[in-house]
Structure 1
């Protein structure tokens, strides 16, 4: 089984969930997981497999941003033993080779080093927003989209020519052209932030959370005109403010929010849906209320199932008399949570029914055509393994 982890990258392609990277806390120390392996979760059978990776393997990275586009995983930024990174690595996951390539010689200006940022995948482009990282004094003086983290002056005192902090920059990377651009945005952008969540609906990018506010703010960037707007939502009900949560597009106009770390430091397990047409939040019931998650991943799987993997269910920030230390104590998770977001088709209902009642239908399964039987046997295996609970 895949190792317990948080802060990893996960994406779904067909009936497979891919999981790469992340970290664990061991005796209060952050341990970054290997970058030369990727785990595959078969969403039909519930089985895990591990694939070795080769090529120009990335360094061990924490809090990098992974994005999946046309069969290729792109990993940008993150923090390694050498500090914050602004390197891009890519790997084709469909050719069976799993060979990494370091992206170099890109045209344009590469964004400054950062982590805890997010990405919208839109029209063969990777559009990055926000994050926490470092800039030179000149970059800070020439940048209105950067908030200096004053606490970092004492924590990181060896590089006086650099400042650490949060940004609300927008950078576009086009893999086909191997080129970076920084569009000039209009409107009122979100305050600089990191550890937020983002998702794309058509040509609109949404970002929410990641700031110390009592309720969750949500902003939209028109990816045609590069115009920001803050979305006004009704006074109630509203999700509480949070960071380290997930936001996932589940229909053409619906975003699915799960979990995160509340502003008072508590891990959350609530689920909300945001309707982009009415600009309203709606809390929904689900069976995973006893399984809070933060720093997890969420991907859209078969029949619009939302597949949540990993993350932390406990989070204790260590403090001394002066400042908050940067090594939190976490209890990491390695299980899969599945949220049903729409009614299942008849075929799926039949497959699940047979899978759950295999002992009663063993003889009938043997009568099925080979291809159908193969699918049914996977569903039987899925439920034998102790299938993730559906809502």
Structure 2
């Protein structure tokens, strides 16, 4: 079995133009390699300001080309970005300083344009940040999403950490929840999530305590430090760990051949949070169900130029060739308070086949990214060379992976080329038959070449014709045997192909059954939605009936208000009529006073005339007759005044009747208002005011009636006294009239 030897050279800092140095001064962002470009999306600056900008970095020229359109939606950090085979970057989730988001966006790198994607199914589960996302190793239409944290209501409520595994189908725009067997991983965030072959690795991470403090107990430790998701069996594996790595969070991971490189991250110590600058390699032995940690660069390595310790940064691998790769590290939190790293570092990796001469990269090479389509790579093991050449300071060999380790899927480094549909795993028996077939084919070709050589020797050397002919026959027989063996193996290969076809058909049938079950689930969801629609319709009908009842009550109240307004109008009219009656009564009282004055004047004149008549009775009879006529006119005036007083009294009686009617109407209205007191409490106050006004009007009316009656009585008394003063018998005026 072939093997690959790998070495790590020294870090080197990549220089970018001064005006672009501040672009990478951020943490919690995503960096995605597409061909020879690096796409930077979002993040946060100094733990406060969130970003939604998008930048395109040219790996070969080592400079930012331009700023692309901003990410739609809110500014965010700690989202995920996944590259699909069609060179599109899918961004999921993220958070700002208050809310956690669950929206999905897609960046088409061919046109450098964003679009918002509507996801069906349980899309609310995508509301999370500090999670992990990777392309499904067996299905390029699915993005696997694990862990992270979210707010249950998305409204600023306390955070909740997750340990669920979601499958986002980017073709059907649908999200499903997977249910792997085995012990579930602990809920966590700020972990590393990467694929290696048909396995997904969940590395380290942390979670908050109930009170929200970050301490050593919140960092994932022990057996839960490494959890593997087996895609083929849909199960979780907790492998045995050989070697160790300090528990951490905010670290980054990159795939190189059969290894995962883990760089940086934040660890807990007695002095608080320490951001590391070390580099570890992780290899996986599927047969032994174990992982091996190998420290490539330790924090205490002397005289080694390296980037400062950091977390929340980006780590990407760019494959230069089958023997060379470059590890890129950029951005992140530094160890100094409120200081984000803005530098870019590159680490050259030399990968060579075992047995060949190997050496560390002496000088940096120009970055050359691979094509976007899948390329088959050799199955490899990382081994230490027998005698490595001299290397620069800081040179460390990559770890050796033991035999029996899992073979990677036929694909390049995940960070180098975009993932595309991976071929199904080949049956080992078919592969062995193919190898035997190739070996026999090569043997047959060698035999044919040997026969040709023998025929040439036969023509040159006639003395050895018999021996050559015998050898030729032997080789011909051997060739025939080889051909028969090839035919037999070909037949077996055809049988295995038929069996493989049958297995594929069975798998297809299972897929159809799964599709049927999903259709049933969809029908159930539609039924639930229909029930929800019916419930909403019933609720709308109930609300309509309730609104109609309220409208009817409002109309009744409006009618009551109109009636009260009419009553107020009637009372105001009655007030006006009473006021007019008072004015008229005052005018009549003034007329009575004038009449009384005239009566007094007449009385004085009569007294004077009587005195004059006593002196000259004979000469004043004619004057007395004139006075009598004047008295007769005064009597007529008095009678007319009495009649007018009677008319006024009748008018007052009619007003009293009107007031009684108004009182009855008021009582009826008051009774109706009492019946509707619960629906019109404000009307009661108005009715109380009307009642008070009515009482005052009634009192004024009674006073006016009493005043009119007293005036009539005074007029009668005055009339009788006048008749008595004139010596009229029985109070009768001359002429026989009253």
TM bucket by the smaller chain? 0.5 to 0.7
Checking the alignment, whether the CA contact within 8 Å between 2:83 and 2:89 is kept in structure 1 is: yes
Structure 2 partner of 1:245:
313
What's the CA shift for 1:156?
Answer: 6.2
| 3-state SS of paired residue (1:89) | strand
Whether 1:255 aligns to 2:330 is no
What's the CA shift for 1:226?
Answer: 1.6
Checking the alignment, whether the CA contact within 8 Å between 1:201 and 1:249 is kept in structure 2 is: yes
The one of 100, 103, 114 equivalent to 1:32 is 100
What's the CA shift for 1:193?
Answer: 0.3
Q: Deviations over 1:7-50 (max 9, x none)?
A: 1110222321111111123xxxx2111x2x42111112111111
Structure 2 partner of 1:19:
91
- How far apart are the structure 2 equivalents of 1:75 and 1:283? 36
Structure 2 partner of 1:268:
341
Structure 2 partner of 1:378:
none
| 3-state SS of paired residue (2:219) | strand
The one of 230, 247, 263 equivalent to 2:295 is 230
Checking the alignment, whether the CA contact within 8 Å between 2:129 and 2:150 is kept in structure 1 is: yes
Structure 1 partner of 2:112:
46
Provide the TM-score with structure 2 as the length reference.
Answer: 0.33
Whether 1:62 aligns to 2:129 is yes
Structure 2 partner of 1:179:
235
Structure 2 partner of 1:289:
none
Structure 2 partner of 1:200:
255
- How far apart are the structure 1 equivalents of 2:99 and 2:362? 37
Aligned in 2, Cα 1:222/1:253: closer, same or farther, shift over 3 Å? Answer: farther
What's the CA shift for 1:191?
Answer: 0.3
| 3-state SS of paired residue (2:233) | coil
What's the CA shift for 1:228?
Answer: 0.9
Q: Larger strand proportion, structure 1 or 2? A: 1
Provide the TM-score with structure 1 as the length reference.
Answer: 0.60
Structure 2 partner of 1:221:
282
Q: Deviations over 1:199-243 (max 9, x none)?
A: 111110111111355761011111236211101367331000000
- How far apart are the structure 1 equivalents of 2:131 and 2:315? 17
- How far apart are the structure 1 equivalents of 2:177 and 2:362? 41
Q: Deviations over 1:321-373 (max 9, x none)?
A: xxxxxxxxxxxxxxxxxxxx9xxxxxxxxxxxxxxxxxxxxxxxxxxxxxxxx
Whether 1:120 aligns to 2:199 is no
What's the CA shift for 1:302?
Answer: 7.0
Checking the alignment, whether the CA contact within 8 Å between 2:92 and 2:126 is kept in structure 1 is: no
Q: Which has the higher contact order (CA 8 A, sep 6+)?
A: 1
Aligned in 2, Cα 1:154/1:110: closer, same or farther, shift over 3 Å? Answer: closer
| 3-state SS of paired residue (1:267) | coil
Whether 1:191 aligns to 2:191 is no
Report matched runs for 1:119-158 at 5 Å: 119-133=193-207, 152=209, 155=212
Aligned in 2, Cα 1:282/1:128: closer, same or farther, shift over 3 Å? Answer: farther
Checking the alignment, whether the CA contact within 8 Å between 2:348 and 2:361 is kept in structure 1 is: yes
Structure 1 partner of 2:148:
78
Whether 1:88 aligns to 2:172 is no
Aligned positions, number: 261
- How far apart are the structure 1 equivalents of 2:346 and 2:117? 35
Aligned in 2, Cα 1:283/1:245: closer, same or farther, shift over 3 Å? Answer: farther
Checking the alignment, whether the CA contact within 8 Å between 2:348 and 2:364 is kept in structure 1 is: no
- How far apart are the structure 1 equivalents of 2:188 and 2:361? 32
Structure 2: 5+ residue runs without aligned partners? Answer: 1-70, 153-159, 267-272, 351-358, 374-415, 417-738
- How far apart are the structure 1 equivalents of 2:76 and 2:227? 28
What's the CA shift for 1:153?
Answer: 7.1
| 3-state SS of paired residue (2:221) | strand
Q: Larger helix proportion, structure 1 or 2? A: 2
- How far apart are the structure 2 equivalents of 1:262 and 1:185? 29
- How far apart are the structure 2 equivalents of 1:215 and 1:302? 34
- How far apart are the structure 2 equivalents of 1:7 and 1:302? 28
Greater radius of gyration (CA): 2
Structure 2 partner of 1:327:
none
What's the CA shift for 1:284?
Answer: 11
- How far apart are the structure 1 equivalents of 2:334 and 2:326? 22
Structure 1 partner of 2:72:
2
What's the CA shift for 1:280?
Answer: 8.3
Structure 2 partner of 1:164:
218
What's the CA shift for 1:110?
Answer: 0.9
- How far apart are the structure 1 equivalents of 2:252 and 2:326? 15
Cα RMSD (Å): 3.2
Checking the alignment, whether the CA contact within 8 Å between 1:271 and 1:284 is kept in structure 2 is: no
Checking the alignment, whether the CA contact within 8 Å between 2:260 and 2:281 is kept in structure 1 is: yes
Checking the alignment, whether the CA contact within 8 Å between 1:255 and 1:273 is kept in structure 2 is: yes
